[in-house]
């Protein structure tokens, strides 16, 4: 009997230790979430007394079979890599490994029966949801279009810096753009829009890059002096966008015309004021 009591006491201590460990991990996760959320707050709110607090993170311990299936499917959908059964079991503790494998097989079979464009695959020791190979040509078109757009935008930004700051080193371009531009520079050089014009006399003597005659031809420029002035571009942008749109402060209150005081005159058009003043001045002169 004493041996059984000791064994039971030992099990209770182990369970208590596991519970404390779980609570510590949840507390750490809550603090991390609070920091992430507070980082996304506007500066004006950060300075005030407002503080985001994640009260608790709770997950259902005992899942019904139908609910467990949905949870596992959601895990596969959200994961960016194949999930192993032990990894899934960390989130769905009420199921045994064999039960999880059975659910995965059921999901895979359901996708096959429903002729879905995606399927559940068992690869690299784990499970994942992937689109079927037969749809690769259409997906490839979207991916290529997206990447081409990204490359074009990146190339234009790099070309703009080169055109206005040349000769310039790769490191100087990256400092302005905040991203690596080695691949973009190589592409621009291959297309003949950019060339190496020398080396900068600093430690390491990095290459200096500049634009080519083909660059001028491509953009219809006689020389680099024909590039738009930075101030001209700024004025053009400011004149093409209304001040309210830039400041993000639309008119919040508008007084109805019939409720306006009698002494308040409509000023919908500034030209009306000038015309009225001209008429009055003409009458006075007569």
- Structural domain including 78 reads 65-134
Cα–Cα distance for residue pair 111/43, rounded to 1 Å: 47
pLDDT per position as a tens digit, 238-262:
665 555 554 554 444 444 454 444 4
Assess if residue 100 is contained within a domain. yes
Cα–Cα distance for residue pair 259/261, rounded to 1 Å: 6
Our count of domains for the chain comes to: 2
Residues 6+ apart with CB under 8 A from 84: 125, 126, 127
| CATH number of the structural domain spanning residue 211 | 1.10.10.10
Q: Which of 76, 111, 134 marks a domain boundary?
A: 134
Q: Which of 111, 134, 157 marks a domain boundary?
A: 134
The two three-digit tokens of residue 78, written as one number: 């959200």
Q: Is 150 exposed, middle or buried (0-12, 13-18, 19+ CB in 10 A)?
A: exposed
If you average pLDDT over residues 78-88, what whole number do you get? 90
Q: Is 211 helix (H, G, I), strand (E, B) or coil?
A: strand
Whether the pTM exceeds 0.85: the reply is no
Assess if residue 32 is contained within a domain. no
Instruction: Examine the domain organization and report whether 145 and 215 are in the same domain.
Output: yes
Cα–Cα distance for residue pair 155/160, rounded to 1 Å: 9
Q: Is-contact 84 90, C-beta < 8 A?
A: no
Assess if residue 11 is contained within a domain. no
CB atoms within 10 A of CB 106: 15
> Residue 191: in which H helix or E strand, if any?
none
Q: Which of 112, 134, 156 marks a domain boundary?
A: 134
Q: Which pLDDT does position 246 carry in this prediction?
A: 47
**Residue 178's pLDDT band (cuts 50, 70, 90):** confident
Instruction: Examine the domain organization and report whether 93 and 162 are in the same domain.
Output: no
DSSP 248-285: T--------GGGS-TTPPP-S-HHHHHHHHHHHHHHHH
**Residue 84's pLDDT band (cuts 50, 70, 90):** very high
Assess if residue 89 is contained within a domain. yes
pLDDT-above-90 percentage for the chain = 20
pLDDT per position as a tens digit, 25-53:
777 777 777 776 666 666 555 555 555 55
**Residue 61's pLDDT band (cuts 50, 70, 90):** low
Instruction: Examine the domain organization and report whether 150 and 216 are in the same domain.
Output: yes
């Amino acid at each position: 009997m004493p041996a059984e009591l000791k064994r039971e006491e030992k099990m209770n201590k182990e369970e208590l230790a596991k519970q404390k460990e779980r609570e510590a991990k949840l507390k750490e996760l809550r603090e991390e979430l609070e920091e992430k959320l507070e980082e996304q707050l506007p500066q004006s709110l950060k300075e005030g007394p407002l503080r985001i607090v994640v009260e608790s993170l709770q997950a259902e311990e005992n899942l019904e079979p139908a609910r467990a299936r949905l949870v596992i499917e959601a895990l596969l959908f959200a994961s960016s890599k194949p999930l192993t059964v032990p990894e899934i079991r960390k989130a769905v503790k009420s199921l045994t490994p064999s039960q999880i494998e059975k659910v995965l097989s059921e999901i895979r079979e359901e996708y096959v029966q429903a002729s879905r464009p995606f399927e559940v695959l068992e690869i690299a020791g784990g499970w994942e949801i992937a689109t079927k190979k037969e749809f690769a040509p259409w997906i490839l078109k979207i991916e290529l279009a997206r990447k081409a757009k990204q490359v074009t935008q990146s190339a234009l930004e790099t070309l703009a810096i080169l055109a206005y700051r040349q000769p310039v080193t790769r490191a100087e371009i990256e400092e302005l753009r905040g991203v690596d531009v080695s691949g973009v520079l190589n592409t621009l050089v291959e297309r003949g829009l950019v060339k190496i014009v020398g080396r900068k006399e600093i430690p390491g003597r990095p290459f200096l890059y500049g634009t080519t005659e083909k660059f001028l031809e491509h953009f219809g420029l006689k020389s680099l002096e024909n590039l738009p002035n930075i101030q001209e571009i700024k004025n053009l942008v400011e004149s093409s966008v209304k001040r309210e749109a830039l400041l993000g402060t639309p008119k919040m209150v508008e007084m109805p015309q019939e409720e306006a005081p009698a002494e308040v005159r409509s000023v919908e058009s500034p030209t009306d004021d000038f015309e009225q003043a001209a008429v009055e001045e003409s009458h006075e002169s007569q």
